[in-house]
Each structure stands twice: as structure tokens, then as C-alpha cells.
């Protein structure tokens, strides 16, 4: 029995899939105009843990993650530049070169964090027809209107608008929409006071001047490109059906993007609720409780972590120090603490002999934690209790099972590069052991320790360093 906090109902609920044994899961994915940072990955780790917990509970999960390669403007509403077009202009590349380059970088980091690949990565530009079809339905049902800048969704026609964030629609107040051409290089701003309501959003945007954009498509409304929000509704319904189980994203997606997804989907498909459970991950913040973001400039990528000697899995472990709905603050001390703790954990585990079996007591405690709205700090505490309990049985089998959810490769041996001088001392120590010279052997072990290396005696020979034993 898994309990999940549903943003829609503001309650922890017992999760029940629409089709028995199967879960449709959609995650708002990356906008591929630049490198993703460790904050972005906190959101994907949260989605991955959710997926692993559902799988652990015997459910079959069909997971879709979208790739935004058009239409996401610098503001989550409908103003500013298209991030992809702006990046292409800046780097003097095609939009497709940009999106593929940054997606490849993203996918490499995704793998390093041991995140399970989705059933499908759905690219916005590969689903233009589906998006146009959906806008057509909304138009036929009378939910849209046209401005000089595009086709807009009239939120005043959807009585439930704002249900996630408890936001009240502000009546027929005129809003502002802004169109900024990119490739001409001229920052021309045309403010259009044509939106009927502040909360109305673009479904389709017109191209503007010829040659202004690289990415544009023909549509019943003229040459243009889809607004950012429509892609998630069109693609999720294509692969998961017109009503599905769980939708995730970072907390910043909730008040605009997800409200808009709900409005257009419930109006087009007529299903209520369109998505049964909405889940939002809290931010990774930098000091001063500011969100780590590309625009704020202070970001850290997975590659930068690695260059600083922090493995991606140690970062994954670090994210478990807070529950997913609580902010987590990035600091050098906190991450260092997590790196040391993860190394120590793997080190201890590598020294545990596998005597077979399972430890039901600890496994039960662990399951209670993960099934209580993904309480990962609690689950990690159970894992530590287990590894430290000298009398506990079935440790290795239990750790292996827990790692199905942690995804920390707790039992994976690391290939460690052993320097020649360390190797020579280890060989000398082995010789001393063969000659039963225990005093010398112990001395040499201490010498190795002093150099930051641990050695373990095995039935045949010894093991040096492996599995994070390098305690340097």
C-alpha cells in the first residue's frame, strides 16, 4: 500500500491505479537549450524514486518524459524569447543542433545518476500534428480566441481554473503578451493588451516577421509554433491515454504550466480529473533560500561535480537527506558530508559477508518509510541501522532489495586504480602473511591505512581499495 501526497487534493492518499497493476506516469522534462543543473536533477531523482517505489510494489510503470525543444519562452507565461531559438542564435547553430547537443549531455547525466530510462522521450517538435489536433478540438468547443500574436485559451471558460494552486481567476482583466523577434537581433517589443484574462495562455503563437524564427510550422491559423503548455497534454494523452495516474514536475511547474495543462486537457478530453495524482518536487536551493537556476547564473552541473571529486551517485545520496517536498539547500559542507557518508556506507557494505537470506524486520521498516510518500531520509536511516546491527541476518540480500529503490549501486564493486607503490606494499604484506609473519603483516596494513588504503583478506589473496575502500 503506497501513500502519496496529491497536490490536487492536498492530502496523502492511498494510491490506486486506474487499471489494476499498471501506472501511467508523466514527468515534465528538460528544456534542451543549455546544460541541466543538479537542481533540475533533484526533480528527476524524485520522479525516479517514485517510479522505483511503484515498481517495488509490483506495479508496471509506463513512464513518459518530454523533451521541450520549442515554444518554452523565457517566462513560463507567454512573454520573452523562445529559449531554443535564442540559444541557437547565440551559439550560431541550428535549433536542432542545439536541442540534440544538450539532450545528449542531459541523457549522459541521467545515466550517471542511475535514473531509469523512460518508456519514451517525447520531443515537442516530433508531435506538432498532435498539438494542432488538440488546439483544433479546443477551438471547436469554443475555448479559444485569436489575438494578433496567436491563439489563446480563455481560462474564464474553465470554472475550475487554478485548482492546483488554489488560484482564483482574476476576472476579465486585460493581460500583457510580448513578442520578441530573435534572428533579426532587434529587441523589438510589441506589447499586446489583447488577452482577455491575465491567466489566459497561448496555444499557438504566430511566427512574426519572415525569417525571424528557425522553427515554424503551417497550421490552420497560419505559420507559427506551439505554446509550451500544449505539448505536455498532447503527448501524455497520446502515450498514456486521455486520463492517467500520475503527473510530476518541479514545484515551479505547478502554478502556471500545470494549471494550464489541466485546463486545456479537461476541456478537450472531458475527463475529470484528467490526472488523478499530481506530485511536485521541492527545489534545490542555494544559500539564502534561492532556487538554483540557469537564469540566476549560480548552477552546478553533474560534470562539474565529478571534476570536484563528487560522484553522481553521491549526489543522488545527498538528495535523500531531505524529503522530496522539502527544500534542500546546497552547501559545500552538506555535500561533503554526504559524499563521506556514502563512501563509508559502501565501504562497510563491501566488508559484509553474504550469508544469504533476507532480514524481514528491517525490510518491513524500510517499506513503511518508502510507502509513506517516499520518505527517503527515513529509508536511509533504516539502511544505516541495518548495516550497523552486528547481529542482523540476511544483510546483503536485504540491502540488494532496498537498492532497487535507492538506485545507489550499493553492492557494485568499483574499479579502483591502485598506484604501484600501494600495490607493492600490499604484495609484501601478502608475502608476510604467507610466511605467517603477523607482526609485519599488521604493520604493513597500518602503513597502507596511513596512505589512505584499506585492504581486505579474501579466501584467495586480498582485495585492495575496491568498492570505495580508498579512504583517502
Q: Which is nearer to ligand AMP, 221 or 278 (CB)?
A: 278
Enumerate residues 6+ apart whose C-beta is below 8 A from 202: 78, 149, 150, 151, 152, 153, 177, 227
Q: Which is nearer to ligand AMP, 30 or 162 (CB)?
A: 30
Nearest approach, Cβ of 286 to ligand AMP (angstroms)? 8
User: What would the grid cell of residue 49 be?
Assistant: 524514486
Q: CA–CA separation, 24 vs 12, rounded Å? A: 19
Grid look-up 547553430 returns 93
Find out whether the peptide bond into 253 is cis, omega within 30 degrees of 0. no
43 binds ligand AMP (CB under 6 A): yes
Q: Which is nearer to ligand AMP, 41 or 152 (CB)?
A: 41
284 touches which of ligand AMP, Zn ion, none (CB within 5 to 8 A by kind)?
ligand AMP
232 binds Zn ion (CB under 5 A): yes
Q: % helix / strand / coil in the chain, to the nearest 5?
A: 40, 15, 40
Q: Which of residues 26-45 bind Zn ion (CB under 5 A)?
A: 28
Helix (H) or strand (E) run with residue 404 in it = helix 395-406
Torsion angles phi and psi, residue 13, rounded to 5? -125, 150
Nearest approach, Cβ of 231 to Zn ion (angstroms)? 7
Q: Which is nearer to ligand AMP, 334 or 416 (CB)?
A: 334
Enumerate residues 6+ apart whose C-beta is below 8 A from 472: 451, 452, 453
299 touches which of Zn ion, ligand AMP, none (CB within 5 to 8 A by kind)?
none
Grid look-up 511566427 returns 207
Stretch that binds Zn ion, among 1-9, 23-31, 189-197, 233-241 (CB under 5 A): 23-31
Q: Which is nearer to ligand AMP, 43 or 207 (CB)?
A: 43
Q: Which of 66, 197, 253, 470 binds ligand AMP (CB under 6 A)?
A: 253
Enumerate residues 6+ apart whose C-beta is below 8 A from 410: 345, 346, 349, 399, 400, 402, 403
Angle at alpha carbon of residue 154, lines to 149 and 160, rounded to 5°: 145
In the three-class reduction of DSSP (H, G, I as helix; E, B as strand; rest coil), residue 166 is classed as coil
293 binds ligand AMP (CB under 6 A): yes
118 binds ligand AMP (CB under 6 A): no
Crossing angle of the two packed helices 376-388 and 332-350, in degrees rounded to 10: 40
Q: How many residues bind Zn ion (CB under 5 A)?
A: 2
CB burial of residue 278 (10 Å; 0-12, 13-18, 19+): buried
Could you tell me if 176 and 195 are in contact, meaning their C-beta atoms sit under 8 angstroms apart?
Answer: yes
Q: Which is nearer to ligand AMP, 106 or 143 (CB)?
A: 106
42 touches which of ligand AMP, Zn ion, none (CB within 5 to 8 A by kind)?
ligand AMP
Q: Which of 25, 113, 262, 284 binds ligand AMP (CB under 6 A)?
A: 284
372 binds ligand AMP (CB under 6 A): no
Q: Which of 4, 24, 35, 42 binds ligand AMP (CB under 6 A)?
A: 42
468 touches which of Zn ion, ligand AMP, none (CB within 5 to 8 A by kind)?
none
Q: In the complex, which residues of this chain contact Zn ion (CB under 5 A)?
A: 28, 232
Q: In the complex, which residues of this chain contact ligand AMP (CB under 6 A)?
A: 28, 30-31, 39-40, 42-43, 249-250, 252-253, 281, 283-284, 291-293
Amino acid at each position: 500500500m503506497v501513500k502519496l501526497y496529491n497536490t490536487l487534493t492536498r492530502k496523502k492518499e492511498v494510491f490506486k491505479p486506474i487499471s489494476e497493476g499498471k501506472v501511467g506516469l508523466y514527468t515534465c522534462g528538460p528544456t534542451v537549450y543549455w546544460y541541466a543543473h543538479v537542481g533540475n536533477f533533484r526533480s528527476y531523482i524524485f520522479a525516479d524514486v517514485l517510479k522505483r517505489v511503484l515498481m517495488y510494489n509490483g506495479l508496471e510503470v509506463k513512464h513518459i518524459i518530454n523533451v521541450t525543444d520549442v515554444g518554452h519562452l523565457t517566462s513560463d507565461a507567454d512573454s520573452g524569447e523562445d529559449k531554443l531559438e535564442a540559444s541557437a542564435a547565440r551559439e550560431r547553430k541550428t535549433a536542432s543542433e542545439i536541442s540534440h547537443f544538450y539532450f545528449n549531455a542531459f541523457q549522459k547525466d541521467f545515466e550517471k545518476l542511475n535514473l531509469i530510462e523512460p518508456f519514451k522521450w517525447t520531443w515537442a517538435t516530433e508531435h506538432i500534428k498532435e498539438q494542432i489536433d488538440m488546439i483544433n478540438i479546443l477551438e471547436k468547443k469554443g475555448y479559444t480566441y485569436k489575438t494578433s500574436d496567436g491563439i489563446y485559451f480563455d481560462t474564464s471558460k474553465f470554472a475550475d481554473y487554478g485548482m492546483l494552486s488554489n488560484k482564483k481567476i482574476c476576472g476579465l482583466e486585460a493581460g500583457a503578451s510580448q513578442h520578441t523577434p530573435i534572428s533579426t537581433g532587434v529587441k523589438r517589443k510589441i506589447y499586446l493588451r489583447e488577452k482577455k484574462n491575465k491567466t489566459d495562455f497561448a496555444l499557438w503563437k504566430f511566427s512574426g516577421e519572415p525569417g525571424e524564427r528557425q522553427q515554424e510550422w503551417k497550421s490552420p491559423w497560419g505559420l507559427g509554433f506551439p505554446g509550451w503548455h500544449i505539448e505536455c497534454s498532447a503527448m501524455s494523452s497520446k502515450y498514456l491515454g486521455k486520463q492517467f495516474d500520475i503527473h510530476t514536475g518541479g514545484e515551479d511547474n505547478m502554478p502556471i504550466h500545470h494549471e494550464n495543462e489541466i485546463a486545456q486537457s479537461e476541456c478537450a478530453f472531458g475527463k475529470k480529473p484528467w490526472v488523478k495524482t499530481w506530485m511536485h518536487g521541492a527545489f534545490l536551493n542555494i544559500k539564502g533560500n534561492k532556487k538554483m537556476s540557469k537564469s540566476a547564473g549560480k548552477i552546478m552541473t553533474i560534470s562539474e561535480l565529478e571534476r570536484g571529486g563528487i560522484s553522481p551517485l553521491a549526489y543522488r545520496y545527498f538528495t535523500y537527506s531531505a524529503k522530496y517536498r522539502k527544500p534542500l539547500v546546497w552547501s559545500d559542507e552538506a555535500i561533503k558530508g554526504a559524499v563521506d557518508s556514502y563512501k563509508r556506507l559502501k565501504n562497510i557494505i563491501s566488508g559484509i559477508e553474504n550469508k544469504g537470506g533476507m532480514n524481514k524486520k528491517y525490510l518491513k521498516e524500510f517499506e513503511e518509510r518508502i510507502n509513506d510518500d517516499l520518505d527517503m531520509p527515513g529509508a536511509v536511516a533504516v539502511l544505516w541501522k541495518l548495516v550497523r546491527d552486528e547481529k542482523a541476518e540476511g544483510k546483503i540480500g536485504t540491502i540488494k532489495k532496498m537498492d532497487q529503490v535507492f538506485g545507489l549501486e550499493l553492492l557494485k564493486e568499483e574499479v579502483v586504480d591502485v598506484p604501484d607503490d600501494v600495490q607493492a606494499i600490499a604484495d609484501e604484506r601478502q608475502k608476510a602473511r604467507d610466511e605467517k609473519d603477523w607482526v609485519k603483516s599488521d604493520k604493513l596494513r597500518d602503513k597502507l591505512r596511513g596512505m589512505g588504503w584499506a585492504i581486505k583478506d579474501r579466501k584467495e589473496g586480498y582485495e585492495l581499495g575496491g568498492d570505495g575502500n580508498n579512504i583517502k
